[in-house]
Structure formats: C-alpha cells, structure tokens
Chains A and B, each alone.
Chain A
Amino acid sequence: MSARLEAENLYKVFGRKQDQAVERLRQGTDRKELHAGGTTAAVIDASFTVEPGEIFVVMGLSGSGKSTLLRMLNGLLEPTAGHVRFGGEDLTEISGRRLREVRSRKISMVFQHFALFPHRSVRDNAAYGLEVQGVPRAERERRADEALALCGLAGWEKSWPDELSGGMQQRVGLARALATDADLLLMDESFSALDPLIRRDMQDQLIELQKTLKKTIVFITHDLNEAMRLGDRIAVMRDGRIVQIGTAQDILIRPANEYVASFTQDVDRSRVLTAGAVMETELRGDEADCACETATPATPFTELCAISTRVPHPVAVLDGDGDLVGVVPSRRLIGFLGDERGEAGTCDSPRDKGGEKVMSRA
C-alpha cells in the first residue's frame, strides 16, 4: 500500500540569482566558486528512488545538505530545480493548499529535537496531525492513544512533554508521526539527540515497528553505524552531492571514493558484514564435501567467526538449495576486520614456518 518516492535532479540554492546558479552547477562550476559569489548550493543534482516499505538512509556530515534534501521531499523547502514525485503526484507542481493536504495525510515527519508542542499534553501532541486533518475529537484521541501504545507510551497520555525523558519525548514524536497513518515517514536525525543506549533501543524499536507497518521511510543521520543498522539502502552525501547509493555492504566493501572509504573506517564491520560479503567465490568444488559446520550467505560476521574457530579448514557457504556458493578462510575474516585485502608477506624467523604452511593452503 505504500507508494514509491522519487527524487529527480533536485537542486537547492540559497541566495541571489538561483536559476543562474543551478545552470552553472550543471555546467560543472565548483560549489566553492559559487559560495564566493554569495550563493550557497545546499543540494546539487540529487536523484534517487525509494521503494515502498524501504528504509532509505541519507548519511552525511553536517553541512552536507541532507536536512535540506529531506525538507524538499515534503515541500517544506521548495526545490530550486528538479522534481519530487510521491504517490503519483509531483509535489513540486501542486498548489500550496494541496501540498498541505498531502503533508497532513501522506507524509509525516520526526524531528531531531523532538519538536513537541510544550503547551499540549502528550495525547494532544500525538493527535496533532489528526487535528489538522479535521478528525473528530473522540476518534483522534483513540488513534493517538493507539499510536502512543505502539511506541510504548501507554499510560502517559495525560502527561506533559517536559515531564518525559528525551527518549520518551522522541517516542511521542514518533507516535505523532505514526498516528496520521501516513505512507511516508521522514526522520530528520531523529535519534541523534539521544543517549547511545536509548538510541539503540529506539533503533531496535523502529526496526521492530517497520516489520509490521511497512512504511516508506527516509532517515537522515550523520552516524554511519546507525545508517548501516537501519538502512536497506544508504545514500552518502558530501558537499551537497550524493556520492554513493547502495546497501550497507556495498558501501563498506566497495566505497565509491576515498571520502566514503575514510568514512567507513570507523564502522564496526562485524555488525554489518555477512558471509555472502566476505566469502571467496573461486571454488574448487569439494570444500563442502565434509560433515563440518557450514554457513549461509546471510550468516552474520560474528557467527561466521565462531564457526571458523570450530572448523579446521575454511568454512563452506551454502545457499538455500544446499549448493556451494563460496568459502571463507579464517585469514579472510581477519582481513575484513582490519580492512586489509593484501596477501601475507614472508617471515625470516623459523618460529613462524609452521604457520606459513597453513597460509599457503588458503
């Protein structure tokens, strides 16, 4: 039931002579050059598609234009050039009134600093979107309470925002976004302002909810770990441009450039990688012909390590039909952890001769 979101060649320029600036950007003028002229290009030529039910994460450092990009998706900012299409409508073409209608019914948003209305109770905050839609009081309170319950806030309906902890406040923000039953959920660094532990909780809860709700979600973050945990696909932004779009493993294993690669250095690879990503596919064919433990391509990296220690030879990876698709030698596991793909060197010390033998087999 969710609809596909498409962004096509989006540009957002702040300052004077915006159309001219877009033209120059298209011709390859540098962003810094424009900036010297008093024009700031926040988003440059962003195109992507988000499939229904997908969590699409936009990742980038502050100032990379990710928040601007997000605000163009629901029309809070009008793109200088390009199109946003959602549910069969081009949001850049429709009237302001229609746009508000779309926002109130089809797109909702969760904010970094929660943006709860301090003069409304928790229930009234959650019901806000429905109130804007004009839903009668009894019904909107019922639906708001449901949304709150879904976010684990049953019993807090009559409290006030300032009585809640940060995590609970963001749950209210999430409940407010979910209460309208919008197809598209825009989340702007929604968990960044929370403590690390609470952030993990919220991430888990979002994943949990998504399993049943199947919303289309665009999630903004500057935290690659969070991006990789949540994102079905990730877009990495730098200086207003999208430099790479791909799955977490794509970005980790095949970074598009130095910048992305430097980004991925700090990532806890063991949480992201699976057997499918690390296995060698050059096969002899007999690697699985023993009774030893095997893995599947979806086996997480940490589990793969465990198997590898129990098995005396490289772990065989079998697909769903039991066919051999790859093998994972333990040296390769260590190499991925250290982000090192090179071959082992040699050592003069006789102490290490035995080891050389094992390695040569790999």
Chain B
Amino acid sequence: MPDQLEIDNLTVSFGAEGAPPVLDGVSLGVAKGEVLAIVGESGSGKSMTAMSVMKLLPRGARMKAGGIRFDGVDILGADERTMNRIRGDRVSMLFQQPKRMLDPTATVGRQVAEPLRRYAGLSRHKAADRVIELLSDVGIAEPERRAKAYAHQLSGGIAQRVMIAMALAGEPELLIADEPTTALDVTVEVQVLRLIATKRAELGMSVLFISHDLGVVSSLADRIAVMYAGRIVEVGTTDQILRQPQHPYTRSLIKCATLARELDGSLFVIPGDVSSARSITKGCRFMPRCPVVEEAHLHDSCDAEEPPLSGCANGQVSRCWATIETRRSA
C-alpha cells in the first residue's frame, strides 16, 4: 500500500539562484495511521517541510520536488482551489503559539464554527451546537462559557485545545503538528500530547509531528526522522532511533534530551551551531560539530563527499561515513 503522504526529493530555496537551499533533497513517507516525528534543532528545516506539504511557504520560496502526494493527489501541481479543499478538511495543522493563532476580534466559538460551516455546510445553529461538542471533546470544561471567550482570555493550554478542536473539526486524515507543545509548560504539555494521541487513535489519522525535543516525540511517534541543515540524516522506528542511534547527531540529541553532563558537571551541549553547515557544499554537513570524525580517522572521506542515506537490514537509514564503515567491516 502506498504511503498516505509521500514527499519525494523536496528542495526549497530562497533568494538568488544558486543560494544554498533550506531543504535539500528531503524524501519522507507517512503511512496511513502512522505518527512520524521530524526532529532537529532550530533551522534544520522541520517547519519548512511541513509548510511545503500545505503549500504555504513564505513568499519568495522556490520549491522543487520529484513529487509531493497526499493520498494519491499531487500536491505539487495542485492549484489554490484544490489546496484549499485539502487544507483544513483532509490535512490540518497545529502550531507553536496557539494564542497567536486565534483572531483576537472573534470569539472562540465563532472561530471553531468557521471550518464547520465551510466544509460540513452546517447552519449557524447546528455549527454552534457542534462547537460545544468539539470543545468538550478536547477536554475543555464549561464549553458553553469558553465558546463565548476571546483568545486573550484563554490560557495557552486551553488555546491549544481550541486549536486542536478546530483542526479536528473536519476529521482530517493527516494532522501536521508543528511544535504544538513548545510554548506550553510541562504539565500542560503532557495533557496536550495525550489528547493528540487519543484523537489519533479515535480518528485513525496519520500525524506528522514536528519537534526539537526527542523526549516529547518518543512517547507519541511510531517513526522518527532526524533532520540537520535541511537534510534528513537518520530515519528509523522510535525504538531504533532511541536504542541504536546510528548518526552521531542523533546520538548527541539523545544525550541532550537526557540532560547528560560533562565530566566537570556542566550540561552537555553540541558544540557550534547549525548555521556553520549552510556553507558546506560538499562533504558531510555535520562534520564541523561531529564528535566522531577524530576517533574514526575519516577526515578525508567526510570532507570530500557527503555520505548517502544508507540502511541497515532492519530498515533504519542514516547518513554517516563512520556507520557505513563499521557496517562494512562487520
């Protein structure tokens, strides 16, 4: 069975022709009912991938791909009207700052009702009833009262629940969640994650979950894709990624997520930052920050050529000369 969402060799760039792309040859597939998480630090291209699927890239972005298909529909070639029928109805999205995602001039009830009236064609009255149902469905107490509230009267957690209610109103087949819990505090985060997990099971929808936090992702995702500097560096099941990470970047991320400490007691951080990778045109992009280069004595190959995404027998793929080398000698 083909994947529900297929992204094939997606490249996105800004500015002048020949400028280093923000997304470089990204290929991903999300199977029906699966939760795929994309993990990486800021600037790695996670959100760009999500926005490409929605075709909502900022002005001036240039998109090239072998194809983006959702349920067989070619998104890359689709016009605005086709896209608007897919957005919100079949593919929904959650965002990072839920309070800013609500229009300050309209009540919560009215905003949640909008997609209902638009897609399900409900009357004003019926939509209002359905809104109350939806709100109580996402665990909002006193939904009648909340429906009359404005965005600035809500807490971040409630606002994200409202956004979830809105996103799920059309019973979408795919939910794209772009760091939906980043702006929330930890207790609320857990609740929102559970809510997403519950709803996913209820509706049988696929989820593309974007996060910089492996800890958050590990409880929810079936598979994890790790991105670095616009490239996918490793893909595997959650188990594979967490138990046997192949790429040194993934290993560093896991180390960060466990709050590992250095010998002198300071918190472990990955040295350098992702911006250094932009200028690298050949060779591995992670090399300047890579802890493995020295010990593996692979300087020459890492410098000369970017490693391909290569897989082990169990389906896990990664992009590192050191692991390719180890596998070959094993």
Physical interaction between A and B: no
